[in-house]
């Protein structure tokens, strides 16, 4: 079944919708969510994740996981 085009019917997207500006959804700041989740999952404190030194092996690994997740999920840096 073919549809017939009516006379004076707009055929292109621009003709149909004009020059509308579509809203682009804003990025959420996922860093606090990732930090809380990683701190809870690895049983380390929030302050240990943000310490100036690497700390113990479990804290260093938790920091690496948090940095990876913030980078992959939102293109952010952990610093």
pLDDT in tens, the chain (79 residues): 555 666 665 556 666 666 666 665 666 677 888 899 999 999 999 999 888 888 889 999 999 999 898 888 776 665 5
Q: Write down the pLDDT at residue 21.
A: 66
| 31 φψ region: left (φ > 0), alpha (ψ -120 to 50), beta (else) | alpha
- Helical pair 57-74 and 31-42, crossing angle rounded to 10 deg: 150
The whole-number pLDDT of residue 20 equals 65
pTM of the prediction? 0.58
């Amino acid at each position: 079944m073919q549809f017939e085009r009516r006379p004076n019917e707009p055929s292109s997207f621009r003709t149909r919708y004009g020059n509308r500006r579509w809203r682009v959804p804003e990025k959420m700041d996922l860093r606090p969510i990732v930090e809380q989740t990683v701190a809870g999952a690895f049983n380390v404190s929030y302050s240990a994740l943000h310490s100036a030194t690497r700390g113990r092996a479990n804290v260093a690994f938790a920091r690496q996981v948090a940095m990876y997740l913030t980078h992959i999920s939102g293109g952010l840096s952990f610093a």
